[in-house]
Amino acid sequence: MDMRKIDFIGIGAQKAGTSWIHACLYEHPDIFMPATKELHFFSNYYANGWPWYAAHFHNLNDHERAGEFSPTYLYHPEAPKRIFDYHARIKLLVCLRDPVERTVSAYRYALQTGVIPPTMTLDTVIHLYPAYVEHSLYFAQIERYLKYFSPDQLLVMLYEDIAGDADGFMRQIYQFLEVPTSFRAAMTDQRVNASRGVPRLSAMDHLMRGLAARLRRAGLSHLVWRLGRSRTVQALRQLNTRPVDLDVLSDRQRAHLQRRFAPDVRALSDLLQRDLRQRWFGDLPLELSDDSRPAQGA
């Protein structure tokens, strides 16, 4: 494989601020990232081969740290070994989110993008599509990576920390990647994963997405990135958005999901030496027996 190996990879999690992190990293003058946020090479497109992957980094300068962000890597069972075989000393970034909120956010996004019909309830989606829950079971996913990589290669961040100190959150990443920490990206002030309702005209939404896909295939990913953040395109999206009530989680559902995730969060807390159950679930009694085991759904 005749290519310079990249320095870092963001592995997830989905709906945990990865688009925002990617945008902030993309702006840093000492970091190179493809304009296409998610390459999914080590998960979905491994069969495309190394030349396909290398083509996304052909403009890389020698002084730049290079990386990419693909959230599918976190839960894909073969991605850790593939990444290890590619670069055993690579640095890995992962941002985790309260598993209940991550699951609900994934459901909301599916509603917004028309992946599921607006009449489909959260309970129905979870029943029909177990991945909405399985992708929030982080313990087995992180454990798979730690079988190949040492803990010092994996920076584990929490999505909830972005709201409290976005600048400090990004400085932590810059320090980990060994690039100047004084840089402040314009995206730092933008909201993370802001909900935008559902399209008024599905045809217009599909047209805009289709155009973006064609531009990427034509090698114009950088243009897509800039257009997506332009005021004109954002205004068009806003005009084509119908606000909906996305407060979809009842107290009963929240308690049920917290109980479902609690064994996994406890195991993850032990693995990472961090009290994530208290951070995400607070003092809510979950009535779990001492012999509860994390669900192996990832």
Pick the CATH number of 8-197 from 3.30.1360.30, 3.40.718.10, 3.40.50.300, 3.20.20.140: 3.40.50.300
For residue 153, what pLDDT is reported?
98
- In this prediction, residue 38 carries a pLDDT of 92
Which pLDDT value is given to residue 145? 98
Q: Tell me the domain boundaries of the chain.
A: 8-197
Which element (helix H / strand E) includes 68?
strand 65-69
Structural element, H or E, at residue 8:
strand 8-12
The pTM (predicted TM-score) of the whole model is: 0.82
Q: Determine the pLDDT at residue 201.
A: 59
**DSSP code, position 37:** S
Q: Supply the pLDDT for residue 292.
A: 42
Task: Say how many residues make up the chain.
Answer: 298
43-63: b or e for each residue (b if 16 or more CB lie within 10 Å)?
beebeeeeeebbebbeebeee
Residues whose CB falls within 8 Å of the CB of residue 5, separated by 6 or more in sequence, listed in order = 86, 87, 90
Low-confidence residues of the chain: pLDDT under 70: 1-2, 191-206, 208-210, 212-230, 233-234, 237-238, 240-247, 284-298
Q: What is the pLDDT of residue 288?
A: 46
Instruction: For residue 276, give every residue at least 6 positions away whose Cβ sits within 8 Å of its Cβ, in sequence order, or none.
Output: 96, 158, 265, 268, 269
pLDDT (0 to 100) of residue 291 = 39
DSSP code of 16?
Answer: S
